[in-house]
Chains A and B, each alone.
Chain A
């Protein structure tokens, strides 16, 4: 009996505080489950049999690390909240004669029960859902599916270790808090007179300034794909700090300013709301900022990875315009006559005959000649004196691709004509508005039309730098004019290439063997000499398709899993916030009624406050999302995805779904709130 005393006390404590502990337990289990699932998947047989399996395993492992770190921080936060609510009870025990050692024992048993049960529930849930998660992953990755349920002992062990340590740390932290507070402090901790929120001008304005700074950076420097990731993280840090400061200090500042305006403040509609908002924001600012940041994380993650996944086919088409794609680089001393029509016709004839050997006829066979080089663009003038390697990342570096008009017309099926000094200009990842363009040799050309939607082959493979595709009447003169230019490495600055792509009616194996044949044929000495070939690259779309889906699908899956974790955390925070406010408001509710407010008036006022406080994070995350849109769009270029419309649509859909979910959470948690408020009122 005496041995069981503490466990019993602990159990009854948990039971009596169901309202607080059940969500905590569910969250712990959820985190454990997610961690196990990601571990399990990274060792999964289904995954290891796939192309790029190492990549998938590594991003899954990365995900599990993120979950572990996040769980640690988040569970610490929630546990501190729980402990604050329980302090009064512990204070009572201690007044009744328990010493710290006794309290520690209760705390120990409580932690033990909670940790063990949530580990057990989480692992069971993880094992139960592991097959489903695996099927989901394989479905997204378009891998092969089998239906046997496996348990991964190493994942179970790892989960036990990681969360064992987390729970232990949380227990010690709770113990530390209990140890250093006296019985009376514990007993009256809940009613401790709280200082009124002070308007802090410096911090409030600083918050808004930092937020604005983050936004500015994201917008102003967000169009350079090379530096985008770096800029993105800087902006994220600034926006996070800005959100915190603005929510905590900025909102109190606003309330205080409103209170200064007597004509506004002393009105029935504003009086109670404004005064209690200031308090609410002081207590909840940090929580709200966290909810906002979590929501934004979820939205950014899910919309960008979803866009990546659903845009895979687009990216694939963009990267590989034909089923089979040949990229022929001509050697250094290639002369203009290698670019002649008769030469390319001979090349195409060779391709046709090789395809014929395989019993197929190339369809949509196109060849495009391209002279490419790099230059720097300033005020409509392109200079060829390239910067040194160090400054190569300078954003004025522009890739130039010159394409003859005849090839452009053939590729696009158009019948454009150009005069001697006219060009068509397509600009990517850059903003050029001029009507003319002048070149190294001081020739100036008029831009007849913009063809920003056209992708040259150079564009497709090197899609992160600013690029210009320039359609000229003829490329032979270019070679004469620029052929002698050299890069700082000493190599010729101008490079010549042909790209050739076509479709077949062969299956994947047929396409693979045809591409081997093509490589063999064009890399043989006679062909090399005949066409002046330096190197040949031959890729089939179908081979790369799997890689694309694996990579994008893997990221999408990770996006979904992490979003679920962050979403759970956000929901729990919202729930606890509502409980907290419920307890606080119930007393005020009663007073206001006695002083002469009708129930309707009180409810309306409280409701409007709740709504404001509740939807503030959502509104803020919508704002964050808007400002992050351009830079996310730029980052997706790295993945060959430049479909702004798709990203826009997906982001909008994600936000709509998220808002709907948020609304649902509001309905559920506000019910808890009203139960607390009205329940306490009766007693």
Chain B
């Protein structure tokens, strides 16, 4: 059962002052099943961020279709897209994107407040998530008072609080130290174990090796994919590493 379907996705940026237009995405096709944990890998400039922006309905594709749970994202307007993001998607970003004016608690509750939920419901959703992410003691603190790992956990809590159909993570470990990275990745695996669908964009092999499937993007196209199968994290790490080496060799070969 597909929760997300991407067909023939194409995105071209026309430069403002003439010149050649840039093709960020050429032809991207893939699908994600309910409960899957997919990592998308690629070098910088390969179109990862563009893809994520389109999936988040922050940007519109030049051609192609994105269907989330049967809804065509390319057809919704700006305000509907915002409401859609709020109710169906959860975001985790590299630079956390917590609002410094809010306490951790208020940051987590933000999506619920925006969809006008009752206060009692907010509380009943907040408590278990905060407990699971180890944030219960930090709720009244401000982002500037907590560590990077704690900030990122707060961001994950914010992403999860609406029970989204899909969590989109953009380089979630990019700004974390090694220990916090380990914690976050374990957390993702655990959440995924509970049935949460996750799509993560990353260029960290370590992050990607915790996923169930890894897609490789190069020059705006899905180039290759690896299924975990029964592999351990270490085995998957090795496979991804090999693929990337191959990728680099072919890139080198093309240049020559």
Contacts and interface: CB of A to CB of B under 8 A. Distances in A.
A588 B109 contact: no
B237 interface: no
B116 A267 contact: yes
Interface in A588-633: 588, 590-601
A595 B113 contact: no
A279 interface: yes
B137 interface: no
Contact of A271 (B82, B85, B86, B110): B110
Nearest to A192: B144
A593 B99 contact: no
A490 interface: no
Contact of A594 (B58, B78, B109, B144): B58
B188 interface: no
Contacts of A267: 113, 116
Given A193-B144, A194-B144, A588 B99 contact: yes
B163 to A, nearest CB: 14
A266 interface: yes
A195 interface: yes
B99 A592 contact: yes
A590 B98 CA distance: 11
A597 B114 contact: yes
Max chain B C-beta neighbours (<10 A), residue from A262, A593, A598: A598
B54 interface: no
Contacts of A196: 101, 103, 142, 144
B100 A271 contact: no
Max chain B C-beta neighbours (<10 A), residue from A266, A595, A597: A595
A194 B56 CA distance: 31
Max chain B C-beta neighbours (<10 A), residue from A271, A279, A591, A600: A591
Contact of A194 (B97, B98, B100, B110): B100
A275 interface: yes
A263 interface: yes
A594 B114 contact: no
B85 A268 contact: no
Interface in A260-285: 262-263, 266-268, 271, 275-276, 278-279
Interface in B89-130: 91, 93, 97-103, 106, 109-111, 113-116, 119, 122
B42 to A, nearest CB: 21
B122 A593 contact: no
A422 B16 CA distance: 92
Contact of B82 (A278, A279, A588, A601): A601
A670 B207 CA distance: 44
A591 B102 CA distance: 12
B83 interface: yes
B158 interface: yes
A268 B115 CA distance: 7
A263 B119 contact: yes
B21 interface: no
A238 B203 CA distance: 62
Interface string A50-62: 0000000000000
A268 B91 contact: no
Nearest to A193: B144
Contacts of A600: 78-79
B54 to A, nearest CB: 14
A596 B83 contact: yes
Nearest to B143: A193
Contacts of B58: 593-594
Say whether chain B's binding surface is mostly helix, strand, loop, or mixed: helix
B79 A594 contact: no
Interface in B155-177: 158
13 contacts: A195-B142, A196-B103, A266-B119, A266-B122, A276-B101, A591-B99, A593-B82, A594-B58, A595-B85, A596-B83, A597-B114, A598-B78, A598-B79
Contacts of A591: 97-99
Contact of B113 (A271, A594, A599): A271
Contacts of B97: 590-591, 594-595
Contacts, number: 75
Nearest to A262: B119
In order of increasing CB-CB distance, the 6 nearest A-B pairs are: A596-B86, A193-B144, A598-B82, A596-B85, A598-B79, A591-B97
Interface residues of B, number: 31
B59 to A, nearest CB: 12
A262 to B, nearest CB: 5
A268 B113 contact: yes
B102 to A, nearest CB: 5
Contact of A597 (B82, B93, B102, B144): B82
Nearest to A259: B106
A599 B78 contact: yes
Interface in B171-227: none
A137 B142 CA distance: 58
Contacts of B158: 595
A275 B111 contact: no
Nearest to A280: B101
Contacts of B114: 268, 271, 595-597, 601
A271 B107 CA distance: 11
Given A267-B113, A278-B101, A596-B83, 8 more contacts: A194-B144, A195-B144, A196-B144, A275-B106, A279-B101, A590-B97, A595-B97, A595-B111
Contacts of B56: 594
B21 to A, nearest CB: 18
Nearest to A279: B101
A601 B111 CA distance: 13
Contacts of A262: 119
Max chain B C-beta neighbours (<10 A), residue from A266, A275, A593, A599: A266
Given A263-B119, A596-B82, A588 B101 contact: yes
Contact of B102 (A193, A275, A593): A275
A596 B111 contact: yes
B241 to A, nearest CB: 32
Contacts of A590: 97
Max chain B C-beta neighbours (<10 A), residue from A278, A588, A596: A596
A593 B103 CA distance: 19
A649 B75 CA distance: 59
B116 A268 contact: yes
A306 B114 CA distance: 52
Contacts of B142: 195-196
Contacts of A194: 100, 144
A595 B91 contact: yes
A679 to B, nearest CB: 14
Contacts of B106: 271, 275
A269 to B, nearest CB: 9
